[in-house]
Structure 1
């Protein structure tokens, strides 16, 4: 882990470092987090470290039990149920988005796809994941149904670990980008039926890609 800078709050730097390590697979689902070990590595007190861990718990990357903090994990059953929920929610969300998304948001989504393509060429997996997540967040933000957005964000947070592992597989990033292009094309054309079909295809493929990750871990 790299040295921390004094210009940023310590807890934020530690949070970013641990999150990146989780998404890169340096920590595995179910691994326990040693507060003492991390405090020693970062050479900081436990107060900013605990704040960083609390933030990771909010994002559902960490779980807390009687033995302490550990990297979140979900079973294959949980994964399939979450994918089903995500599919139902995003199909409803895209219908609302078609009617309400602004042209400047569509332009921003186009730029994010371009930046994701550059990240893929650089083989920067974390950056690629961030741009792809931001692409979906633009669509989510354009939805006017706040309850729907909250539910979807909860589901997506739980699936983040597996999305991070998916992009490490050869060829998966190219497929994901092609699917995002198809979704955005339907959104730009304000074609609700095509938008629903492309979202359904993308999320069905995401579930298949995620199952491969689960199989690799078993």
Structure 2
């Protein structure tokens, strides 16, 4: 059995995931130049999986390849965020609609996640808080049993997640309240209230983050 192609694909995927996480969490900063040889040495791999990972990140809009074989992390872009947040909000609302109704066990799980989410915000632990936010909304995606929704959101979410990291301290508490409204809609078995609350959560977050971006951060000059 030939295993090398699978091994290389797995290696490329691992490099991709690590770079994506570093970009999302701003460890690799907007505009930072990425050198494939240096990255290969850092990860202890050849340049091939690094190049494959960078190509995938470029397709996602997280890096941009420029003339002279230069690759840079994309800048935080208000225009891109304005285009992306309404789509993400609509898709999450659709997932909530398809997930309805949730079981009592699921609702209890949402309550516990939101409590942990609030604790992480109080500790100013952005990474844990955003992982818990993913878990909260991920429950609806899981219960929707719609692979296309999940796949599309997995592709779009990294484009806005960096912005959440950049402005985390300013707007985290609003999401706790929004999550509680979502939970209450589930408890009262009100599907329309659930859909509205979910869409409001994402659109409200988008408006706050985009406004902050326009005030404080430069947009992508390209």
TM-score range, shorter chain: 0.7 to 0.9
Secondary structure at 1:37 match in 2: helix
Give the whole-Å Cα distance in 1 for the aligned partners of 2:79 and 2:179: 26
Give the whole-Å Cα distance in 1 for the aligned partners of 2:86 and 2:139: 21
Q: Which has the higher contact order (CA 8 A, sep 6+)?
A: 2
Tell me how far 1:191 sits from its aligned partner. 1.0
**Deviations 1:41-64 (Å, cap 9, x if unpaired)?**
556554665576567567654445
* Number of matched pairs: 207
Other-structure match for 1:124: 125
Other-structure match for 2:193: 194
* Pairing 1:53-202 to 2, within 5 Å after superposition: 53=54, 61-64=62-65, 67-73=69-75, 75-99=77-101, 101-167=102-168, 169-170=169-170, 172-202=171-201
**Deviations 1:12-52 (Å, cap 9, x if unpaired)?**
88666644543342322232212233344556554665576
Give the whole-Å Cα distance in 2 for the aligned partners of 1:84 and 1:185: 23
Other-structure match for 1:4: none
Q: TM-score, normalised by structure 1?
A: 0.75
Give the whole-Å Cα distance in 2 for the aligned partners of 1:86 and 1:45: 36
Is contact 1:61-1:161 (8 Å) kept? no
Other-structure match for 1:217: 217
Is contact 2:65-2:72 (8 Å) kept? yes
Is contact 1:143-1:149 (8 Å) kept? no
What residue ranges of structure 1 are gaps of 5+ in the alignment? 1-8
Q: Comparing 23-32 with 9-18, which one deviates more in the overlay?
A: 9-18
Give the whole-Å Cα distance in 1 for the aligned partners of 2:65 and 2:109: 37
In structure 2, the CA distance between the partners of 1:45 and 1:26, relative to structure 1 (3 Å rule), is same
Is contact 1:30-1:71 (8 Å) kept? yes
Q: TM-score, normalised by structure 2?
A: 0.74
Secondary structure at 1:78 match in 2: helix
